[in-house]
Structure 1
Amino acid sequence: MKKILISFVVASLTMTIAACQSKSTLGGAVGGIAGGVAGSNIGGGSGRTAAIIAGSLLGAALGSHIGGEMDELDRRRANDTLETYPTGRTSSWNNPDTGARYNVTPTRTYQANQQPCREYEMDVYMDGQRDVVTGTACRNNQGEWINQ
């Protein structure tokens, strides 16, 4: 039953990503998936299902908030960081329109399916709050870094 629930949550969120039209919805979907995975690794026994659900909801809320705040300039800066910064070096910027501050650090670089991929950590400071987002992005044939 647990495996079915986990599969359902991940599949539902994956379909949500495919249908996303807005940056906050996309951020929420990505955050929900990350939260669900984190919850599945944290929870154990009968609490695992609750941890998956709680992680998915918390991740979706955080991802939606961050995704809603990132504008095209922020996405380009993050893309440039993944493209040009060496592993371990941080790119930082402030968005004067949203008031958000970003620190993006590539943490690991590797090849997957003949495409370069990078793990990264992004510190986001918004509304007096610090949020840390970790993820993996791979460069597609058009040179865009796509979150995995």
Structure 2
Amino acid sequence: MHKTLGILFMAAVLALPSGCATKGQTGAVIGGLGGAAVGGQLGPKNKRGQNALIGAAVGTLLGYIVGNELDKYDRQQISTALERSPSGQATSWVNPDTGRAYQMTPAPAYTAPNNDICRDFTLTGQDASGRPETIHTKACRNAYGQWVLMN
């Protein structure tokens, strides 16, 4: 387990050369490390290294998508839609910096087992190559009243 996390940490250091990483690369590294840490704690002890690698792969993919595709403006639009849009009503916007168009449709709010208020939603936009992409995910309101995307 420690050897696996050490390898992942070294990969993270190598993936972020001299502060020139893109948001996608940064998101992938953070997601991969988080996924490895969570995966490494799950399942039987003899499978935790394998689970860490699976967690790293899933976290890397989700981190890259969120980091690469959504910048601060997009996250603000998502938060506004989560706060104000009725369930099932699509909200659309175009990011003025990237020119990418997005459409988000929130589902009804619900209380999670930890008592957080959450909403599932569907986000449709374009990936880096311009192909349509749809993501189904959720966000929960934190203790400060801010919506936080959940992986």
TM range, smaller chain? 0.5 to 0.7
| Structure 1 moving runs of 4+ over 3 Å | 25-28, 56-63
Asked if the contact 1:69–1:98 (Cα under 8 Å) also holds between the matched residues in 2, the reply is no
How is 1:9-28 mapped onto 2 (pairs within 5 angstroms)?
23-24=23-24, 25-26=26-27
Q: Return closer, same or farther for 1:60/1:108 CA change in 2, 3 Å cut-off.
A: farther
Q: Which has the larger radius of gyration?
A: 2
The answer to whether the aligner puts 1:72 opposite 2:66 as a matched pair is: no
The sequence identity of aligned pairs, in percent, is 35
Q: CA RMSD in A?
A: 3.5
Match of 2:137 in 1: 135
Unaligned runs of 5+ in 1: 1-7, 17-21, 34-48
Q: What is the match of residue 101 of structure 1? A: 101
Q: Contact conserved, 1:69 with 1:100, CA < 8 A, in 2?
A: no
* Unaligned segments of structure 2, at least 5 residues: 13-21, 36-49
Q: CA deviation at 1:23?
A: 4.6
Residues 34-45 of structure 1: pairs in structure 2 closer than 5 A? none
Task: Letter of the 1:78 partner, please give it.
Answer: I
Q: How many residues align?
A: 115
2:119 corresponds to which residue?
118
In the TM superposition, what is the alpha-carbon distance from 1:69 to its structure 2 partner? 3.2
Asked if 1 retains the 8 angstrom alpha-carbon contact of 2:111 and 2:118, the reply is yes
Q: 1:107, CA displacement in angstroms?
A: 2.0
